[in-house]
Amino acid sequence: MGLYLCWKRQWLVVLEDAMASSSSPKDVLSLFAAEEYSSRHSLVDFRVKQFAYACIQAVHQNRNLLKDQLLIASEESGTPTILLLEAVVLLTDPRLPWACKIVGYLLQRNIYVLLRDIVLTGKRSMNLQGFVGIVSSLERILVLFASHVGQPPCVCQPIDPQWSFSSLILTIPFLWKLFPYLKEVFGTRGLLQHYIHQMALCVQNHANVLPNDISPEFPGYACLLGNLLETAGVAFAEPDCSFDLAIDFAAVATFLLGALPPIQVSNRGNFTMGEDDMIVGDELTEKVLNRDLEQQISNAIDPSFLLQLTNVLFGGFSCINGSYKGRPNDKDVAAVGAACAFLHVTFNILPLERTMTVLAYRTELVHVLWNFMKRCHENQKWSSLTEQSKYLPADAPGWLLPLAVFCPVYKHMLMIVDNEEFYEQEKPLSLTDISCLIVILRQALWQLLWVNPVPIPNFVKSASSVFALKKHPVEFIQYRVSIVASELLSQLQDWNNRRQFTPPSDFNADGVNDYFISQAMIENTRAYDLLKQAPFLVPFTSRAKLFNTQLTVVRERHGSHAVFTRNRFRIRRDHILEDAFNQLSALSEQDLRGLIRVTFVNEFGVEEAGIDGGGIFKDFMENITRAAFDVQYGLFKETADHLLYPNPGSGLIHEQHLQFFNFLGTVLGKAMFEGILVDIPFATFFLSKLKQKYNYLNDLPSLDPELYRHLIFLKHYEGDISELELYFVILNNEYGEQTEEELLPRGKDIRVNNENVITFIHLVANHRLNFQIRQQSSYFLRGFQQLIQKDWIDMFNEHELQLLISGAIDGFDVDDLRSHTNYAGGYHREHYVIEMFWEVIKHFSLENQCKFLKFVTGCSRGPLLGFKYLEPLFCIQRAAGSASEEALDRLPTSATCMNLLKLPPYRSIEQMEQKLLYAINADAGFDLS
- The dihedrals phi and psi of 544, each to the nearest 5 degrees, come to -65, -40
**Reduced DSSP (H G I as helix, E B as strand, rest coil) percent helix, strand, coil of the chain, to 5:** 60, 5, 35
CB-based burial, 797-823: b 16+ in 10 Å, e otherwise: bbbbbbbbbbbeeebbebeebbeebee
Give me the long-range contacts of 46-52 (CB less than 8 A, separation at least 24). Answer: 48/91, 48/98, 48/102, 49/101, 49/102, 49/105, 49/106, 51/11, 51/87, 51/91, 52/87, 52/88, 52/91, 52/92, 52/102, 52/105, 52/106
Produce one character per residue of 43-82: b if its CB has 16 or more CB atoms within 10 Å, e if not. Answer: ebbeebbebbbbbbbbbbbbbeebbebbbbebeeeebbbb
Nearest to 406 by CA among 487, 467, 334, 325: 487
419-442 in b/e form (b: 16+ CB < 10 A) is bebbeeeeebbeeebbbbbbebbb
Distance in angstroms (rounded) separating the CA atoms of residues 574 and 657 = 21
Catalytic entry in 55, 223, 875, 897 = 897
d(CA 472, CA 475) in angstroms, rounded, equals: 5
Nearest-CA neighbor of 597 among 897, 925, 929, 902?
897
DSSP string, 704-764: -HHHHHHHHHHHT--S-GGGG--BSEEEEEETTEEEEEESSTTGGG-B--TTTHHHHHHHH
Task: Name 741's bridge partners.
Answer: 730
Give the C-alpha separation, 724 to 716, whole Å: 14
Q: Are 741 and 729 in contact (CB under 8 A)?
A: yes
DSSP string, 449-484: IIIS---THHHHSSS-HHHHHHHSHHHHHHHHHHHH
- 535 DSSP assignment: G
> Is-catalytic flag, 100?
no
Please give the positions annotated as active site: 897
